[in-house]
Amino acid sequence: MRMGAFEWMLLITLSIVWGGAFFFGDIAVAHLPPLTVAFLRVGIAAAALLIACRAFGVALPRSRSLWGAFLIMGAINNMIPFSLILWGQTHIASGLASILNATTPLFTVVLAHFLTSDEKMTPLRLAGVIAGLAGVVIMIGGDVLHGLSNNLWAQLAVLGAAVSYAFAGIFGRRFKDQRPVVTATGQLTCSSALLLPIVLLADKPWSLTMPGVSVWAAIVALALVSTALAYIMFFRILSAAGATNLLLVTFLIPVSAILLGTAFLNEILETQHIAGMILIALGLALIDGRVPRRMRALASRTAM
């Protein structure tokens, strides 16, 4: 499955929106337990989407089997990975977490090969994933890898989140006939229901210190922008381009973060950033497949 110009535009936008999730998450977990942050993230997002559906007359499905699928999707696409990443961020730097999260396409390529009929692994696709992952590492900087020897469980938690996202991308293909806002609302509502009793038992939220305005602002941004809006785009891309193409967004998130920092925070765009972006662009081109196909076609016409 290939992406058109509109899907590429959505993918880049999604990378910008999700790039903020690590930043907002860092602020939130410094003041609240990870499970509580995860619940607030999905709960506020679900409430916003339910209100939006009601306001715009979007009817939610009544099928029990479909809500059962939303429940599974809510677990593997929200509850499990959000909790693992937020817990991991209490022990490792966001840069390292984003590198580990960028392994998602690698897991997706492997899993999709065995679990789907139309997203099989090819040498070009695998080479593209490896090139993209190398680009992320180079762009963020080798110094962050020095932390790989410490906090093993936190690193494994983020890798576990990447595997969960890979399964979710493949499982989510079954919702291609649903409107993206409906699927986003369904899975976020279910993940909120799954997390609520766990948070009540584990974190006892009533005993926590009330966070300040800046923390609440980060949580609301995390919920409305990096979750509610993000998942509408997520399911739109998934239905059109497939799981492997969709989860390339994890390569683009560090690119978005660095370019935004350069544009708005007066950060310096260094040589390693440019080199990493070139490798990521190469990886995306190899996975998309159109550039290599056109080069082969041009070569064959030249040889004639």
Q: DSSP labels for the chain?
A: ----HHHHHHHHHHHHHHHHHHHHHHHHHTTS-HHHHHHHHHHHHHHHHHHHHHHTTPPPP--HHHHHHHHHHHIIIIIHHHHHHHHHTTTS-HHHHHHHHTTHHHHHHHHHHHH-SS----HHHHHHHHHHHHHHHHHH-GGGGGGGGS-HHHHHHHHHHHHHHHHHHHHGGGGTTS-HHHHHHHHHHHHHHHHHHHHHHHT-GGGSPPP-HHHHHHHHHHHIIIIIIHHHHHHHHHHHHHHHHHTTHHHHHHHHHHHHHHHHS-----HHHHHHHHHHHHHHHHHH-HHHHHHHHHHHHHH-
User: In terms of C-beta density within 10 A (0-12 exposed, 13-18 middle, 19 or more buried), how is residue 90 classed?
Assistant: middle
pTM above 0.75, yes or no: yes
Residue 211 near residue 32 (C-beta atoms within 8 A): yes
Using one digit for the tens of pLDDT, what is the confidence trace for 175-204? 988 999 999 999 999 999 999 999 999 999
User: Do residues 24 and 219 touch, judged by C-beta distance below 8 A?
Assistant: yes
Phi, psi angle pair for 228, to nearest 5°? -60, -55
pLDDT in tens, 271-302: 887 887 788 788 777 776 666 666 666 666 66
Percent over 70 (pLDDT), the chain:
87
Structure-block tokens of residue 164 = 């969960």
Residue whose entry in the numeric block shows the structure tokens 């696409």: 77
Q: What is the pLDDT of residues 214-273, one digit of tens each?
A: 999 999 999 999 999 999 999 998 888 887 777 778 778 777 767 766 776 566 777 887
| Cα 33 to Cα 118: distance, rounded to the nearest angstrom | 41
Q: Is 50 exposed, middle or buried (0-12, 13-18, 19+ CB in 10 A)?
A: middle
Separation between Cα atoms, residue 77 and residue 145, nearest integer Å: 26
Please compute the mean of the pLDDT values over residues 31-42 and round it to a whole number: 95
- Nearest-angstrom CA–CA distance, 71 and 103: 25
Give the residue with greater pLDDT, 147 vs 198.
198
Number of neighbours of residue 110 by Cβ within 10 angstroms: 15
pLDDT at 59 over 80: yes
| Distance from the Cα of residue 152 to its chain's centroid | 22
Q: What is the pLDDT of residues 113-128, one digit of tens each?
A: 898 887 787 888 888 8
- Kindly list the domain boundaries of the chain, sorted by start residue: 16-125+147-250
160, 84 in Cβ contact below 8 A?
Answer: yes
Confidence tier at 145 by pLDDT (50, 70, 90): low
pLDDT, residue 265, reads 56
Q: Is the pLDDT of residue 209 over 80?
A: yes
Give the model's pLDDT for residue 277: 78
Q: Which phi and psi angles does 119 have, rounded to 5°?
A: -130, 55
Query: For position 122, what pLDDT does the model report?
Result: 82
The span from the CA of 18 to the CA of 246, in Å, is: 13
